[in-house]
Amino acid sequence: MSAVATPTTTWYLVLAAAVFSIGVVGVMIRRNPLVMFMCIELMLNAANLSFVALAERLGDIEGQSVVLFVMVVAAAEVVVGLGLIVAIYRRRPNVTADDLIELKG
């Protein structure tokens, strides 16, 4: 065992950081609003992963409770977000982030 490292909380945190960053980059470069949502979900998951890892490190259940709430939030967000997209797509099918530039300046 000594030769092989055991994953510590830190590992998870770094992983979460990576996923978070990927999510951020995704929001920046994807044009499809749906995919942008997905990237935001990635970011939320990174946060969740961090919470759980830190809960483990701290020996504190609170971090896990938070994740539960976050999942609710994520669900609600997705519902509203998809509702928005549906409403928009009804009028402007296949619209992308780059097309929604009526308001600017």
Partner 1 sequence: MIELFVFVAASAMVLVGALGVVLRRHPVHAALSLVLTLFGVAVHFVALAADFLAAVQVIVYAGAIVVLFLFVIMLLGVDRLEDLRIEPFKVQRPVAVVVGVAMVSLLGIAVAVSSDTGTATPGEGVAVAGFEGEALHDGNIIALARNVFGRHVFAFELTSVLLVVAVVGTVVLARRPRRGEATSDGAAS
Partner 2 sequence: MGTDILDVMETPVLDWFALSPLLVLLGAALVMLVVGALTPPWPRHLATAVTCAAGIAVGVLGVLLWRQVDREGASLLVNDAVQLDKLTVWSMLIAAVGLVMVSLTSDGFGERENLAQPETHALYLLAALGAIAMAGANSLIVLFLALETMSLALYVLVASHRRRTASQESGLKYFVLGGFSSAVFLYGVALVYGGTGSTEITRMLVALDRQVDLDPMNETMMLAGVALIIVGLAFKVGAVPFHSWVADVYQGAPTPVTSFMASVAKAAAFVAMLRVLLIGLGHWADDYRPVIAALAVLTLVVGSVMAVVQTDVKRMLAFSSVSHAGFMLVGVEAAAHLPGTLESDGTSSVLLYVLVYSVLVLGTFAVVTAVSGHGDASTSLDAFRGLGRSRPVIALAMTVLLLAQAGVPLTSGFVAKFGVISAAAGEKSWLLAVLAMVSAVIAAYLYLRIMISMWVADPVAGDDARPPVQVSRPIAAVVAMSVAFTLFVGVLPGPLVGITP
Partner 3 sequence: MLDLIWLIPALPLAGFLVLLVVGRRLGDPRAGYLATAMVAGSFLVSVGVFLELLGLPSEERHEVQRLFTWVPIGDVSVDLAFLADPLSLTMCLFVTGIGTLIHLYATGYMHGDPRYSKFFLYLNLFAFSMLMLVLGSNLLVTFLGWEGVGACSYFLISFWHERDSAATAGKKAFVTNRVGDWGLMMAMFFALWSLGSLDYLHISESATALSTTTATAIALFAFIGACGKSAQLPLYLWLPDAMEGPTPVSALIHAATMVTAGVFLMVRLNPVLAVAADYASWVIAVVGLATALFAATIAVAQNDIKKVLAYSTVSQLGFMFLAVGSGAYVAAVFHMVTHAFFKALLFLGSGSVIHGMHHEQDMRRMGALRIAMPVTAGTFIVGWLAIAGVPPFAGFWSKDEILLFAYDKSPVLYAFGLVAAILTAYYMTRQVVMVFFGEARWHDAHDEHGAHGDFTPHESPRVMLIPLVVLAGLSIVGGAMQLPFSKSLHRLEHWLEPVVERGEHHLTDSAKDIKYLLMAAAIVVALAGVAAGLAVYAARRFRAVEPCVLAEGWYYDRAVTSFMGGPGRKAFDGITALDARAVDGAVNGTGRLVQQIGSQVRRLQTGNMRTYAAAIAVGVVVLLAWFVVLRGVL
Binding site for partner 2 (CB under 8 A): 13, 16, 20, 23-24, 27, 33, 36-37, 40, 43-44, 46-47, 50-51, 54, 57-58, 60, 62-63, 65-66, 69-70, 73, 76-77, 80-81, 83-85, 87-88, 91-92, 97, 100, 102-105
Residue 36: burial class (beta carbons within 10 Å; 0-12, 13-18, 19+): buried
In the window 44-83, what residues touch partner 1 (CB under 8 A)? Answer: 45, 48-50, 52-53, 55-65, 67-69, 71-80, 82-83
Residue 30, phi-psi category: left (phi > 0), alpha (psi -120 to 50), beta (remainder): beta
Query: What count of other Cβ atoms lies within 10 Å of the Cβ of residue 42?
Result: 19
State how far the Cα of 4 lies from the Cα of 21, in Å rounded to an integer: 28
CB of 45 to partner 3, least distance (A): 18
Query: Does 30 sit near partner 1 (CB under 8 A)?
Result: yes
